[in-house]
Structure 1
Amino acid sequence: MLVVLAFIIIFHITSIALLFIATIDNAWWVGDNFYFDIWRTCVNTTTTAVCDEIGSNNNSFQAIQTIQATMILATILCCIGLLSFVLQLFRLKQGERFVFTAIIQMLSCLCVMIAAAIYTSMHEEFHPNADIKSGTFGYSFILAWIAFAFTLINSIMYLVLRKRK
C-alpha cells in the first residue's frame, strides 16, 4: 500500500509541475522567429527578442483571459488536491477517503481541458499574421494536454484508492 501511495504522490507532483510549466512558459505557439503563450507574444529580431504582453487591443482578448484563468485555476486546484490528499490520508476512515481529492482533481482536469480546447479551436484568431499562422503548437501546449491526461488518471486513481485497505 505504501508503494501505491508513493506512486500517487509522485504522479500528483508531476501533474502539478506540468501545469506550472504549461501555464508559465512561453511556448504555446512557436515558429522559426516567434513564440507565443497565453501571456505574451515574442518575435525574434536579428539581435534580441521583442516581447509584448497580450492586451485588450487583441480581438480575442476574452478568450485569452479565459485560458489564463482556467490554467491558473487548474494549477491551484491541483495543489489543493495534493494538500487535501495528505490531510485525508490520516484524518478520514476508509471508504470516505480521497473522494474530496478526486473531485478536486476532476475539476482541475476539467479546467485544463477547457483551456487547451479553447486554445486549440481559436489559435488562428489569436495570431492573424500570415507568417505567424505557419507556426506549430509548442511544448507548453502539449504539456497542457498531458497534464489533462495526468489529472484525469489521478482523479480516477483516487476514486479507486478510496476503497483499498
Structure 2
Amino acid sequence: MLVLLAFIIIFHITSAALLFVATIDNAWWVGEDFYADVWRVCTNGTNCTEIGDHFEGYATLQAVQATMILSTTLCCIAFFIFLLQLFRLKQGARFVLTSIIQLLSCLCVMIAAAIYTDRRQDLHDNNPRYYSLTSEGRYGYAFILAWVAFAFTFISGIMYLILRKRK
C-alpha cells in the first residue's frame, strides 16, 4: 500500500510540474527565429514583446492564460486536499473531493489547449507585426506538455476516484 501511495503522490507532483512548465514556459508556438506562448512573442531569442491589448485576439489568449493558471492552481489544491484526506478520512472512504478537483484541473487544461489549438492561426495571422515570423512555425514542447498534463491529470483524477483509504 505504501508503494501505491508513493506512486500516486509522485504522479500528482509530476502532473503539477508539467502544468507549471506548460503555463510558464515560452514555447507554445516556435519557429527558426521566434518563439511564442500565451504571454509574449520573442524574436531572435532576445527581443521579447509582451502580448497586450494591441495584440489581435488578446481576449482569446486571456482565456487560455486564465484556464492554464486555474488548472495549475486546482492541481495544487487537489494535492493538499489529498494529503488532508489521507489523515482525516475514515477507513474505506474514497477520495472523491480530491478526484473532483483534479478532474476540474484536467478540464481546465483541456479547454486551454483546445482554445489555443483552434485559434492559433487566427492569433498569429491577424497580427501583421508577427505574421511574417509566426506563419512558418510549429507547436512547441510547452504546448505538447499541456496535452500530456491533461492526460496525467485525467488519469490522476480517475485514480483518486477509485482509490479507497486503507490501513
Normalised by the size of structure 1, how large is the TM-score?
0.94
After TM superposition, the runs of 4+ consecutive aligned structure 1 residues lying more than 2 A away are: 94-97, 162-165
**How many angstroms does 1:57 deviate by?**
1.4
Give the Cα separation in 2 of the matches to 1:7 and 1:104: 19
Partners of 2:43 and 2:46 in 1: CA distance: 6
Give the match for residue 149 of structure 1: 151
- Alignment root-mean-square deviation, CA: 1.3
Match of 1:65 in 2: 62
The residue type paired with residue 62 of structure 1 is A
Whole-Å separation in 2 of the counterparts to 1:164 and 1:120: 42
1:59 partner SS:
coil
Matches of residues 85-164 of structure 1 in structure 2 within 5 Å? 85-128=82-125, 129-162=131-164
| CA positional deviation for 1:164 | 5.9
Structure-2-length-normalised TM-score = 0.93
Match of 1:81 among 78, 82, 96: 78
Deviation of the 1:18 alpha carbon: 0.2
1:19-70 residue CA offsets vs partner (Å, 9 max, x unmatched): 00000000000000000001000011xxx62100001112211110000000
The one-letter amino acid of 2:4's match is V
Secondary structure of the residue aligned to 1:52 is strand
Aligned counterpart, 1:5: 5
2:49 aligned residue: 52
Structure 2, gaps ≥5 residues long: 126-130
Shift of 1:162: 2.5
Q: Work out the number of aligned pairs and report it.
A: 162
Of 51-60 and 31-40, the range deviating more from structure 2: 51-60
Rounded Cα–Cα distance in structure 1 between residues aligned with 2:91 and 2:151: 27
- Identical residues among aligned pairs (%): 65
**How many angstroms apart in 2 are the aligned matches of 1:19 and 1:146?**
9
